[in-house]
Amino acid sequence: MSPAPPRLRNIGPKSAAWLRQVGLRTLEDLAAAGPVEAYMRVRRAGFRPGLNLLYAIEGAINDTHWQEVSEARRAELVAAAEAAIAQLPPPRGRPVAAPVTTTRMDEPDDPLPAFGDHDDVPAADADD
């Protein structure tokens, strides 16, 4: 039985499994790929990581807690990730989402009674 890979700072079991599945098994692998590329590999593999994974990878590479990644660095990482995500092709089998529109029906042809407006239900007696 092979020894377990070393535990990386900030990387929990689920994130570690995702990273292993995209070929990133060590701190050296993460550092070589960089936080944005590592994050994008996970996304391209079909997983749905949150931005915390991006910050966790940055923290792991720099040996800091993910919450200590500065706001300026987070903004850089998010901008780079968003630019990379924009380059991804749309998911197969699903069209690119169109703008959402809302249709309002102010005067329906066959109005239904509002909730609680039921003529056929007797009102409760106040004396009961």
Amino acid 3: pLDDT: 46
Query: What domains are there in the chain, each with its CATH number?
Result: 13-86 (1.10.150.20)
Amino acid 128: pLDDT: 47
Stronger pLDDT, 34 or 88, i.e. the higher one: 34
The answer to whether residue 8 scores a pLDDT higher than 50 is yes
Amino acid 111: pLDDT: 56
The answer to whether residue 123 scores a pLDDT higher than 80 is no
- DSSP state, 78? H
Query: What does pLDDT average to over the chain?
Result: 81
Residues whose CB falls within 8 Å of the CB of residue 44, separated by 6 or more in sequence, listed in order: 22, 88
Amino acid 98: pLDDT: 65
Residues 30-83: tens digit of each pLDDT: 999 999 999 999 999 999 999 999 999 999 999 999 999 999 999 999 999 999
Which pairs count as long-range contacts for 4-9, CB under 8 Å and 24+ apart, including other chains?
8/60, 9/59, 9/60, 9/63, 9/64, 9/65
